[in-house]
Amino acid sequence: MAEIAAILSPQKKVLIPDKEAGCPLADMVTTWQLRKKKEQYKDAIVVTYVNSPVEVKAESDYCCTSANAINLVSRLPDKRILFIPDKYLGSYVASKVDKEIILWEGYCSVHKKISPEGIKEKKRRYPQAEVIVHPECVPEVISLADGVFSTSGMCKYVRESKAKEIIVGTEVGMIHRLKKESPDKRFYPGSEEAVCLDMKKISLEKILWSLEEMSYQVKVKEDIAFRARRAIDRMLEVN
């Protein structure tokens, strides 16, 4: 995400408070791996989820978010789609569009900790609660949900829902935001184990230190930024 900000605003200084705050999902695809796959599927359109390295974005035709993936893919020509790197988000998109989608063998380890058995147990404990989950969850979890939403989609749904209890199938930190925006409702995590340790590396203290010392600046090589910009711009054009 910091790399995208640096590409879109090259005149500004983009900082990341902890250089080790990465994404295991993004690490599941490399440039050379993607190039090999592109050789195998020469006619495929490459759609890459934003949780991916900037070098991989530079090899892609389109980027997408979890919020606009379905809309973006549905607009593409009737060709095969190589969707990377999250196979569960890709399979969810595939279930909503009439296109051939080739899935990459990547996944979010945090969302994979949310199990169908765990959701069923929460539903037994809180029978009045609605279930909302992120599309990075496994298909068996998605099938149990009342709604499947991106992070922003969850916030919108919760604000508009009449439900007073909601089971939330995503990283547990999301519940803090939902409680703040909808204090009249009760929220239960889909799994207490769905904790992203990489996200937790960014703390208020580190943000303060980063601003005081202006570190660490995120820089993207000019040639990589130029090539990745096309896929990123295409993502931003789709709601």
Of 139, 199, 155, give the one whose Cα is nearest residue 67. 155
Query: For 128-145, what is each residue's pLDDT tens digit?
Result: 999 999 999 999 999 999
10 Å Cβ neighbour count for 32?
A: 10
Listed by start position, the domains of the chain span 2-108+214-236, 114-193
Q: Largest Cα–Cα distance in the chain?
A: 54
pLDDT on residue 90: 97
Residues of the chain with pLDDT under 70: 239
Bridge partners, 101 (sequence order): 81
Q: What 3 state SS string does the chain have?
A: CHHHHHHHCCCCCCECCCCCCCCCCHHHCCHHHHHHHHHHCCCCEEEEECCCCHHHHCCCCEEECCCCHHHHHHHCCCCCEEEECEHHHHHHHHCCCCCCEEECCECCHHHHCCCHHHHHHHHHHCCCCEEEECCCCCHHHHCCCCEECCHHHHHHHHHHCCCCEEEEECCCCHHHHHHHHCCCCEEEECCCCCCCHHHHCCCHHHHHHHHHHCCCECCCCHHHHHHHHHHHHHHHCCC
The residue behind tokens 């909302």 is 132
pLDDT on residue 77: 87
Query: For 49-77, what is each residue's pLDDT tens digit?
Result: 999 999 999 999 999 999 999 999 999 98
Note whether 2-108+214-236 and 114-193 share their fold: yes
pLDDT on residue 238: 80
Which architecture, in CATH terms, is 114-193? Answer: 3-Layer(aba) Sandwich (3.40)
How distant is the alpha carbon of residue 43 from its chain centre?
Answer: 26
Quick check: pTM over 0.85?
yes
The residue behind tokens 């592109």 is 38
How distant is the alpha carbon of residue 146 from its chain centre?
Answer: 20
CATH class of 2-108+214-236: alpha beta
Bridge partners, 81 (sequence order): 45, 101
